[in-house]
Amino acid sequence: MDSCSLQIRYPSKECMLEQNEEWFHLVTEDGQERIRIHEYDRVYDVPGLYEEVVYNRLQCDSPRVITQLLKETMENHGDNSTPLRVLDFGAGNGIVGECLQDAVNTETIVGVDIIDEAKKAVERDRPEIYDDYYVMNLAQPSEEEKQALDDWDFNALVTVAALGFGDIPTRAFVNAFNMVADKSWVVFNIKDRFLSDDDDTGYNEMLQDMIGESLHIYQKHHYCHRLSMAGEPLHYYAVIGRKEKGF
Ligand SMILES: C[S@@+](CC[C@H](N)C(=O)[O-])C[C@H]1O[C@@H](n2cnc3c(N)ncnc32)[C@H](O)[C@@H]1O
């Protein structure tokens, strides 16, 4: 992937926007196109664009942080011999799948995303990472979709940078949680505000109810997910837990 040839113009540092409003300009021979980072369909269409903006410019570290925490937690609990059969939910263009493959012993990695452009980007840029990749809306999965996922017998659910901000709604996350087996590793990150009394996404209330009887937490790590366009750190929690029972 040659992201060096991309011409990108960023807004000035004074431009303070909520994460899902942040934008940049992609400059091509046809002119200048304003794109929001959260316009994933458009971003994934351009090879290397997501990597250049989110990983190089904004220094996103979440896939590495989360997969390393999972690795350490598995080692600390003497459970790194069972190969993982992972449902990577909100898989995007496959960076998390790639990190998982490097960090832990995986038997299967299956991606799910809601947009076709994500699947196409994986097929184009990381074709050997996923055993399968589905475009599905897990807020309302059909019986066939549930069966297709059930057949993989997942023992891990991983969701990185996809909760809140109008991305994965709580219902879809709960459905994914209920699709993996009891004792599965459950690994996700979430903006710190969404796990506080200031949350307006529904995640705080849902997760507080889930944690305990349904989800046992081993690690809750506060860290910088990425920089904002203005250069400020955006803090998230990385959560590593295990499913106790359905929710
Ligand atoms: C910021 S990207 C993260 C992608 C990848 N997990 C990563 O860390 O590189 C968020 C992804 O969530 C996906 N997404 C948003 N809403 C979704 C939903 N309801 N179900 C599944 N995926 C969703 C988007 O299409 C996008 O690919």
pLDDT by residue for the chain (247 residues), tens only, comes to: 555 689 999 998 777 899 999 999 999 999 999 999 999 999 999 999 999 999 999 999 999 999 999 999 999 997 778 899 999 999 999 999 999 999 999 999 999 999 999 999 999 999 999 999 999 999 999 999 999 999 999 999 999 999 999 999 999 999 999 999 999 999 999 999 999 999 999 999 999 999 999 999 999 999 999 999 999 999 999 999 999 999 9
> Best of 20, 115, 119, 133 to mutate for ligand 1, by most ligand atoms within 8 A of CB?
115
Give the N- to C-terminal CA distance of the chain in Å, as an integer.
41
For residue 166, give the ligand 1 atom closest to its CA.
Answer: 16
Residue spans of alpha helices (H) in 77-169: 95-103, 116-125, 143-150
How many whole angstroms separate alpha carbon 39 and alpha carbon 22? Answer: 10
CB neighbour burial string for 127-136, b if at least 16 within 10 angstroms, e if fewer: eebbeebbeb
Say which residues have a Cβ less than 8 Å from residue 94's Cβ, sequence separation at least 6: 111, 121, 122, 125, 126, 129, 130
How many whole angstroms separate alpha carbon 127 and alpha carbon 211? Answer: 35
How many whole angstroms separate alpha carbon 18 and alpha carbon 22? Answer: 7
Quote the pLDDT of residue 49: 98
Query: pTM to 2 decimals?
Result: 0.97
Residue found by looking up tokens 């529904």 in the block: 202
For residue 159, give the ligand 1 atom closest to its CA.
Answer: 6
Ligand 1, CB within 6 Å, residue ranges: 40, 62-63, 90-92, 95-96, 113-115, 118, 138, 160-162, 167-168, 172
Spacing, Cα 87 to ligand 1 middle (Å)? 13
**Which residues, listed in sequence order, are joined to residue 106 by a DSSP beta bridge?**
84
Rg of the chain's alpha carbons, rounded to an integer?
18
Spacing, Cα 78 to ligand 1 middle (Å)? 31
The tokens describing 15, both together, are: 């431009």
In the chain, where the domains are located: 3-57, 62-243
Spacing, Cα 113 to ligand 1 middle (Å)? 6
Spacing, Cα 157 to ligand 1 middle (Å)? 14
Quote the pLDDT of residue 115: 98
> Best of 114, 116, 190, 194 to mutate for ligand 1, by most ligand atoms within 8 A of CB?
114
CATH class of the 62-243 domain in this structure: alpha beta
Quote the pLDDT of residue 81: 81
**Residue with the nearest Cα to atom 12 of ligand 1?**
90
Spacing, Cα 182 to ligand 1 middle (Å)? 24
Quote the pLDDT of residue 3: 56
**Which residues, listed in sequence order, are joined to residue 25 by a DSSP beta bridge?**
9, 34
Say which residues have a Cβ less than 8 Å from residue 47's Cβ, sequence separation at least 6: 1, 2, 3, 121, 124, 125
Quote the pLDDT of residue 80: 76
Helix or strand holding residue 176 (H, E): helix 170-179
Q: Are 222 and 196 in contact (CB under 8 A)?
A: no
